[in-house]
A and B are shown apart, each in its own frame.
Chain A
Amino acid sequence: DSGVTQTPKHLITATGQRVTLRCSPRSGDLSVYWYQQSLDQGLQFLIQYYNGEERAKGNILERFSAQQFPDLHSELNLSSLELGDSALYFCASSLGQGRSVDEQFFGPGTRLTVL
């Protein structure tokens, strides 16, 4: 158990819908990262937040957005869902101090299926 929790574990929804995925980082970690893992694209970094502020952006679509709340949990919002958004969405957390990248601890993921 990494200490990172994600809910829900599974999500099945229809095209055009909007969903919210939730992540709670390890106690003491200030950074949260979101990743998408699919069979054809592999592991893709989406976005990072550090202590409530956006720190880095990867291959995140405009239909997707995220935020980190004062209690440090994070939510990833996916809207206007398409079939191709079906994937495993991982959250990771790290201390996020300084310029070096600390070890990231991964949650169990949310499997999103868009029908």
Chain B
Amino acid sequence: AQSVSQHNHHVILSEAASLELGCNYSYGGTVNLFWYVQYPGQHLQLLLKYFSGDPLVKGIKGFEAEFIKSKFSFNLRKPSVQWSDTAEYFCAVNSNYQLIWGAGTKLIIKP
């Protein structure tokens, strides 16, 4: 069965630092990939998604992710983080009508 790994459970960065959060899924074929974000006290919202085409996907708030099929990866990046990016980030992959979710990465940005 499909599984999703987010290797970093907690990440602490200073403002203006660059960010990369890892996401790997377990098997290939056609996949749809998502990154969701949950700000403190709020519901999950979509950051970006990949269905097909250009493997470099741009999302909201300056985030981007790169789909690397050979590595089964879909890492999330942002060149310069802000304090307001403090949140929990979830990677998800589709499988049989449902999304398989990673465990999430808690990101804390120090002002």
Binding site for B on A (CB under 8 A): 2, 33, 42-43, 45, 48, 50, 55-56, 58, 90, 92, 99-101, 103-109
In the assembled complex, the CB of B38 is this many whole angstroms from the nearest CB of chain A, namely: 9
Query: Residue on B with the closest CB to A100?
Result: B32
Mostly, the B contact residues are strand
Q: Which residues of B contact A48 (CB under 8 A)?
A: 97-98
- For chain B, give the interface size range: 20 to 34
Among B45, B98, B103, the one with the most A-chain Cβ atoms within 10 Å of its Cβ is B98
- Residues on B lying within 8 angstroms of A by beta carbon are 32, 34, 36, 42-46, 49, 51, 90, 94, 96-101, 103-104
Alpha-carbon distance A110/B106, docked complex (angstroms): 21
Nearest-Cβ distance from residue A30 to partner chain B, whole angstroms: 12
Given known contacts A56-B97, A100-B94, is B43 in contact with A42 (CB within 8 Å)? no
Q: Can you pick out 21 interface pairs between chain A and chain B where the beta carbons lie within 8 Å of each other?
A: A2-B45, A42-B103, A43-B44, A43-B104, A48-B97, A50-B97, A56-B96, A56-B97, A58-B98, A90-B43, A92-B44, A99-B97, A101-B32, A101-B97, A101-B99, A103-B46, A103-B49, A104-B99, A105-B46, A106-B43, A108-B42
Q: Are A106 and B44 in contact (CB under 8 A)?
A: yes
Chain A residues whose CB sits within 8 angstroms of the CB of B97 once the complex forms: 48, 50, 55-56, 99, 101
Known: A100-B32, A101-B32. A45 touches B98 (CB 8 A): yes
Given contacts A90-B43, A106-B43, contact A56 B98 (CB under 8 A): yes
Given contacts A43-B101, A45-B99, A45-B101, contact A101 B43 (CB under 8 A): no
B49 (CB) vs chain A CBs: closest residue:
A103
